[in-house]
Structure 1
Amino acid sequence: MLDRLSLRLRIFLFFAVLAFGGVAALVAGLWLGYRRLGSPDTLDAFVQGGVVAGFVLVGIVVWVWLLFDLHVARAIERLAGSIRSRSHADAGSDLDRQTARYLGDLAPAVGAALTKLSETRNALAESVARETTRLAGEKARLETLLSDVPAGVLLCSAGHQLVFYNGLAQDLLGGATGAPGLDRSLFDYLRDGPVRHAYDRLRDTGDAEAASDLLCATTGPMPRLLAARMRLLHSPEQMAPGYVITLRDVTADLAAHAKREALLAEVFDRVRRPAANLQTVMGVLAEDSGADPGGRLDRAMRAEVAQLTRAITELGARYDEGRSDWALLSMTRASDLLDSLRARLEGAGLSVIGQAAELLLRCNGFEMVVLVAELARRVAAHAGTTTLRLDIAEDGPGALILLGWDGPALPVGTLDQWLEGPLEPGLADLSGRAVLQTHATECWPEGTTGQPRLCLPIRQARRAGRRPAPVARAVVYDFDLLSRERSAPVADMPLEQLTYVVFDTETTGLLPQQGDEIVQIAAVRLVNGRRLEGEVFDTLVNPGRPIPAGSTDVHGITDAMVASADGVTEVLPRFHRFAAGSVLVAHNAPFDMTFLRRRETELGLRFDNPILDTVLLSAVIWGQSEVHSLDALTHRLGITIPEEARHTAIGDTMATAEAFLRLLPMLQARGLTTYGAVLAEVRRHGRLLKDANLTG
């Protein structure tokens, strides 16, 4: 019973019992003396003496208790908190020995022990540094390799929770449902039917090497069709195996295939009927070549031939246009193409002048360089010159490669002969004509003797703008999630097995009941005791009302900054999806939760996540007498918040997340290893804050 009480309360009870016992002993002694004296006239004197002595005794006890509480009990609490922060979180400042000066040699002894602990940790870290460096290098190489695999790769637990995903999988799964996140259900991003059926099929086979191909679609209003292959990951310590699934987007492939099939069907349909009619007319002419009064059969034959010619010409053009849609052509910068051509031709002894527009060309850069360089060498030999002009210019939706020279014009027949021959000695099948067909284009000479040139159009090009920010291709994983069991209720779950979302809000004011609204909300996810760098929620919110100047002075957010931002009715559902299935963590959580819960009815949402408050966790570790502001907490834990990040949602969120990660081992060291145990402990500090887990 007593071990559940705080140290200060137990000391107070000790002195209270001491004062009560002293007063009781004084009263008993005076009563015994009065009875032995046997004189009724002395009763008043005994009573007055007893009252004065009792007050003096109680006063002395209270005075000693106050000194003891101030210099011993509080000092012990502070010393214990410092010891835990140094030993379990490896943080905190040096021990305040002035505070513990009345505890004798305890503070120096603890300081020496912590110094020895720190030295031992350093020695251990140095002993494993080389091995850690080697493993880190292998890990980095593995991550780099997997991030560039030309397929989306997912690793899932038996409960279909994401354990690993690479950059391409993030591109394939991201969409209306948002980017994927660790420890989230795969079925938030893929329709579950095909995945479950493939998983059950593989489990029923009993073959550890079996794989299953499946076709699945992403969730959301605009689904993408994905080709996938699943393979189970059997492990002796797991009853139900996890699995790896590779994804490939076939929506574009199917669209291109369907387009080709429809075009071929139309070709057959539109060519077949004129050809049949032409055959009939020619048959009649063969039977009676002299009986054609007025030349009607001749005109009919000419009309059918003209229709057939037009159909073939139009369909051929459409076919050439469609070829570039499914050809393996990438975007090549025009300046890079020109530089490669200049290097190739200068190596052959030719001088090249010209310039390239700021364009990105859709072409096979290697084939185009080989073709133009070969044409340039032949042109130089034909014209007897060593100086060529080479320009790449914008031409409507495409581009135009112009090869010019001084000298005689180039006959079309000569160019056709050049295009029929191989471009490289080792590439007999690569002719100029084949390159042109691949790019659905053609090449022709124009101009007269003096300033002739060759024209080679590129069908698709776009202007090269400012280079966009590189897309993050980090591999995100946590293999420990494979063996995690999820049948236990949250209250019984160990703290290290829970997924946390640490968040913070900035608002127009402190009174949500009077119309104040959120202007910024930020959050990060913690899985298996680490913060996931790529899983961050950070957005400005249009509050639908002016931001007071006093609030702007605190968080720096102005009306202009949120003018184009989404409103709270659009942002909160996104945050609700981001935080789904996790424990919410905040500093002074009731304040932030009030702003979230006041919109629940309007949006049809329920923020019923379990909640932890770092204010109360700090009180559990250091006692209620300490200051528990975010600045004080981070100072005690040795966490630095940059001045420019303070009072911003993302800055305070990062600081709270780091503080929470350092508080976890300190809580576990006190025997608070499950969420339920922590919740029961923090509710003893309810006078600091109301319980944010209560939604009423």
Structure 2
Amino acid sequence: MVARTRFVLAVIVLGLLMTGPFVVTALLVWLEAKGPTRALLIEAVAPHLPLGALMTLLGFAVGVAIVRNLFRQYVQGLLRMAENLSLMLVANREFRVQESGPPEVRALARHANALAEQRDALLQDVEAQIARAKHSVEEEKNRLAALMSELTQSVVVCNLDGRILLYNHRARTQFRALSDAPGVADGGELIGLGRSIYGVFERNLITHALETIEQRLQRSKTQAVANFVTTTRAGQLLRVQMAPVLSVGQEGDGERSVTGFILMLDNITRTFETESRRDQMLHSLTEGNRAALANVRAAAEMLEYPDLQDELRARFRKVIRDDVAAMSARLDRTANEFADSLKARWPLEEMLGADLIAAAQRRIEQVVRLPTKLEDVDESLWVKVDSFSLMQALTYLANRLSDEFEVREVRFRLTGAGRLVHLDLIWSGQAMSTETVMSWELEPMHIGDDTSPLTVRDVIERHDGEMWLEREKVRHRAFFRILLPAAVPQAVAEAPVPAEGEGRPEYYDFDLFNWSEKSRALDERLLSELAYTVFDTETTGLNPSNGDEIIQIGATRIVNGKLRRQESFEQLIDPRRDLPEESIRIHGITPDMLSGQPPIAKVLPAFHAFAADTVLIAHNAAFDMRFLQLKENLTGIRFDQPVLDTLLLSAVIHPNQESHRLEAIAERLNVPIQGRHTALGDATVTAEVFLKLIPLLAEKGIRTLRDARHAAEKSYYARVNY
């Protein structure tokens, strides 16, 4: 605006300089001339006035063009250079000023780039020294991170306000099981840096445990812990151990205060249910058999009388038979329940298939004394198995083959079949009937003195596999084929590359950003201190008011000035309407991908919980917020937190740049673009852009949320409504 005012003033001055001397001279001549002289003057000048005016206008136009060109080359060029220099200083060290314009401006750009090169050389030297100084600290940090990630127990560290400061992968997995909508939010609405632990536990429960710890600390100098068991909203039973995070007193006085707490969580729901079933089995076995044993004992004592009548003797024998049969049935039922409890405790772990076969070979040769060989083993295959129970089954089958069919050697074959693995146990000898195979599958496994209540069928079903007998008539061989799940890492699907086309329109309506009390409470907070949810939507079209719907929501979080990539939200949504071809070309989402996905009414509550207690950020946010606003009546969900827009903030920082599209901003700030036109991909790029905008905003005196909001409202794009 200041530059434009200067241009207008320059044009006015040019007009005055071109017409002023002529007008003043003509006025003086007119005043000095009298009567006849004035008439002669008019008669001499009047015929030439149109030509003089035309020449003056042409000269003025040429002068304006020259001033405009000089203004663009020097004033606007220098302003644009100033913005680019700001990028070099703050956001993008690799950026260089383009050497364009008049010679003086090019020389200035050349020297500015040379200074930037010198600056980079100095900074590289400083960074190298800092890197060496931080190396030992980073090593300690990595050791801690490795320890946390490998812990089999869930660990969550919180401050005294209940905000999560640290958690491990096991905790995230466990919180997913506690989520009301694990398929939609993946537990992200419960756990995340900066989130409140009171979304899972009652505040009074944590407060009571903290009070208990503080009382124990006051009585003893040793570190105190508190233990409790609680039930979550999802009905899970958790055993929690709380330990305090203590500060160290000043000057070594030993006084310590609680600055936070550590929660170590165990989900004991299944353990509790298993122990309850085991207790019931033991109770049934003891109490149920006690009465039967008493009856058998009494009947046996009566049978010892020699003069007992035949009718009573038969009756007592019947009592013994019935009670013994009932005891036998009870024992069988208990044994089956115990086998079921064993199967429930089986862990499936990933291991190399060749290692599994090598272990089975050693066990068969040691226990059965049967030679083994390898026929065709693909050493690249991984399987997901319970190795102990599967080796038991293979050893049992080899033992039966050796005892009943006098097999003198078995061979192993391991081949891949897509998501499954074929494990073959091969032998040569006489044919075996299908009935024999079924009987082997269904009988409890006995190998010498080693017995198990489990059957081969139990083991196969536990692995979600199959087993059958096949014959090779030409080679006079047969083999058991066992299908096992392959342990193949899930491939990350590449985001579809959309065809080039127009993106969403850049329009704005500040009625979407009515500030609630929650927003005003954050107004004075520094931008660098706030927690953010950066989100993006993909839609069926560009007209939310005309029936277009959201088909994907993607979001990520910024906490303490850092992008938390692992804390993300990504969900496809069934729009319950047709998907236009032109929108498919942009985002690459097809109707088949949306089939079976949850509707917006189920996804929005989960996303609302994910974004709770944060500031929303989007690029061209009015577009996304309009879709959310139109679903308020349907879902009862209202997003009333503050909203910032990187489109407006970029226009505030760089008013002289021609484009503020996300790609253009990312290029200026040296932010790599991945997964463009996917909701999570765009949200991640927007988050990285916003982090680089924060120091640029600070240079302009925009440091708080209030500053950013007011500056955005005054930008050019904020005046365009729809």
Fold match by TM threshold 0.5: yes
1:419 alignment counterpart:
none
Give the whole-Å Cα distance in 1 for the aligned partners of 2:592 and 2:348.
38
* 2:360–2:391 contact (8 Å) kept in structure 1: no
Give the whole-Å Cα distance in 2 for the aligned partners of 1:680 and 1:88.
23
Give the whole-Å Cα distance in 2 for the aligned partners of 1:517 and 1:441.
53
Shift of 1:236: 5.7
Shift of 1:226: 1.0
* 2:10–2:67 contact (8 Å) kept in structure 1: yes
**What amino acid maps onto 1:553 in structure 2?**
R
Matches within 5 A, 1:137-148: 137-148=139-150
Matches within 5 A, 1:67-466: 67-91=69-93, 93-99=95-101, 101-103=103-105, 105-174=107-176, 175-176=179-180, 178-179=187-188, 180-207=191-218, 209-219=223-233, 222-235=234-247, 241-282=259-300, 284=302, 289-296=305-312, 298-324=313-339, 329-331=346-348, 337-343=356-362, 351-352=371-372, 362=386, 364=388, 368=392, 387-389=408-410, 433=449, 436=451, 439-441=452-454, 461-462=462-463, 463=465, 464-466=484-486
Give the whole-Å Cα distance in 1 for the aligned partners of 2:718 and 2:337.
70
Give the whole-Å Cα distance in 2 for the aligned partners of 1:39 and 1:240.
102
**What amino acid maps onto 1:318 in structure 2?**
R
| Candidates 698, 701, 712, aligned match of 1:671 | 701
Gaps of 5+ in 2: 182-186, 250-255, 415-422, 431-446, 466-483, 493-517
**What amino acid maps onto 1:303 in structure 2?**
K
* 2:155–2:264 contact (8 Å) kept in structure 1: yes
Gaps of 5+ in 1: 1-5, 394-399, 408-430, 443-454, 473-485
CA shift in 2, pair 1:371/1:346, >3 Å: closer
* 1:590–1:691 contact (8 Å) kept in structure 2: no
CA shift in 2, pair 1:367/1:656, >3 Å: closer
Give the whole-Å Cα distance in 2 for the aligned partners of 1:347 and 1:284.
52
Give the whole-Å Cα distance in 1 for the aligned partners of 2:600 and 2:338.
47
TM-score norm. by structure 1 comes to: 0.75
Q: 1:685 aligned to 2:719?
A: no
Shift of 1:57: 11
Shift of 1:652: 2.5
Matches within 5 A, 1:648-659: 648-659=678-689
Question: Could you report, residue by residue, the CA deviation over 1:584-637 in whole angstroms, capped at 9, with x for unpaired residues?
Answer: 222211111111111112110111221111111111221155211122212222
DSSP-derived class of the 2:687 partner: helix
Shift of 1:649: 2.5
CA shift in 2, pair 1:285/1:345, >3 Å: closer
* 1:71–1:102 contact (8 Å) kept in structure 2: no
Shift of 1:341: 3.4
DSSP-derived class of the 2:91 partner: coil
Q: After superposing the two structures, state which structure 1 stretch, 535-544 or 327-336, moved more.
A: 327-336
Question: Could you report, residue by residue, the CA deviation over 1:111-160 in whole angstroms, capped at 9, with x for unpaired residues?
Answer: 22222221122222222334445544443333222112121000112211
Q: After superposing the two structures, state which structure 1 stretch, 316-325 or 89-98, moved more.
A: 316-325
DSSP-derived class of the 1:539 partner: strand
Question: Could you report, residue by residue, the CA deviation over 1:49-73 in whole angstroms, capped at 9, with x for unpaired residues?
Answer: 9999998998798657634542233
**What amino acid maps onto 1:352 in structure 2?**
T
CA shift in 2, pair 1:585/1:460, >3 Å: same
Shift of 1:7: 4.2
Q: After superposing the two structures, state which structure 1 stretch, 189-198 or 605-614, moved more.
A: 189-198
* 1:519–1:541 contact (8 Å) kept in structure 2: yes
1:563 alignment counterpart:
595
2:438 alignment counterpart:
none
What is the RMSD of the two structures over their aligned residues, measured on CA atoms?
4.8
CA shift in 2, pair 1:540/1:683, >3 Å: same
Give the whole-Å Cα distance in 1 for the aligned partners of 2:226 and 2:286.
38
Shift of 1:276: 3.1
CA shift in 2, pair 1:239/1:260, >3 Å: closer
Count of aligned pairs between the two proteins? 619
Give the whole-Å Cα distance in 1 for the aligned partners of 2:325 and 2:676.
72
Matches within 5 A, 1:506-517: 506-517=538-549
**What amino acid maps onto 1:190 in structure 2?**
F
Shift of 1:280: 4.1
* 2:73–2:102 contact (8 Å) kept in structure 1: yes
Shift of 1:234: 2.2
DSSP-derived class of the 1:615 partner: helix
CA shift in 2, pair 1:342/1:71, >3 Å: same
Give the whole-Å Cα distance in 1 for the aligned partners of 2:683 and 2:639.
19
* 1:502–1:524 contact (8 Å) kept in structure 2: yes
Question: Could you report, residue by residue, the CA deviation over 1:249-304 in whole angstroms, capped at 9, with x for unpaired residues?
Answer: 11111111111111222223322222333444455556xx24433332x2232222
Give the whole-Å Cα distance in 1 for the aligned partners of 2:278 and 2:198.
33
CA shift in 2, pair 1:315/1:239, >3 Å: same
Give the whole-Å Cα distance in 2 for the aligned partners of 1:534 and 1:157.
21
DSSP-derived class of the 1:647 partner: coil
Give the whole-Å Cα distance in 1 for the aligned partners of 2:721 and 2:333.
69
CA shift in 2, pair 1:500/1:342, >3 Å: same
CA shift in 2, pair 1:632/1:510, >3 Å: same
**What amino acid maps onto 1:262 in structure 2?**
Q
Question: Could you report, residue by residue, the CA deviation over 1:563-600 in whole angstroms, capped at 9, with x for unpaired residues?
Answer: 22222222222222222222222221111111111111
Give the whole-Å Cα distance in 2 for the aligned partners of 1:655 and 1:543.
25
* 2:240–2:266 contact (8 Å) kept in structure 1: yes
**What amino acid maps onto 1:683 in structure 2?**
E
Q: After superposing the two structures, state which structure 1 stretch, 524-533 or 59-68, moved more.
A: 59-68
* 1:161–1:185 contact (8 Å) kept in structure 2: yes
Give the whole-Å Cα distance in 2 for the aligned partners of 1:401 and 1:547.
48
Give the whole-Å Cα distance in 2 for the aligned partners of 1:565 and 1:467.
26
Question: Could you report, residue by residue, the CA deviation over 1:353-401 in whole angstroms, capped at 9, with x for unpaired residues?
Answer: 599999976574699599979x97xx99x99x994448999xxxxxx99
CA shift in 2, pair 1:364/1:559, >3 Å: closer
Shift of 1:665: 1.8
| Candidates 537, 540, 550, aligned match of 2:572 | 540
CA shift in 2, pair 1:672/1:173, >3 Å: same
Q: After superposing the two structures, state which structure 1 stretch, 22-31 or 62-71, moved more.
A: 22-31
Q: After superposing the two structures, state which structure 1 stretch, 200-209 or 521-530, moved more.
A: 200-209
TM-score norm. by structure 2 comes to: 0.73
* 2:79–2:656 contact (8 Å) kept in structure 1: no
Give the whole-Å Cα distance in 2 for the aligned partners of 1:314 and 1:253.
27
**What amino acid maps onto 2:566 in structure 1?**
G
Give the whole-Å Cα distance in 2 for the aligned partners of 1:254 and 1:599.
42
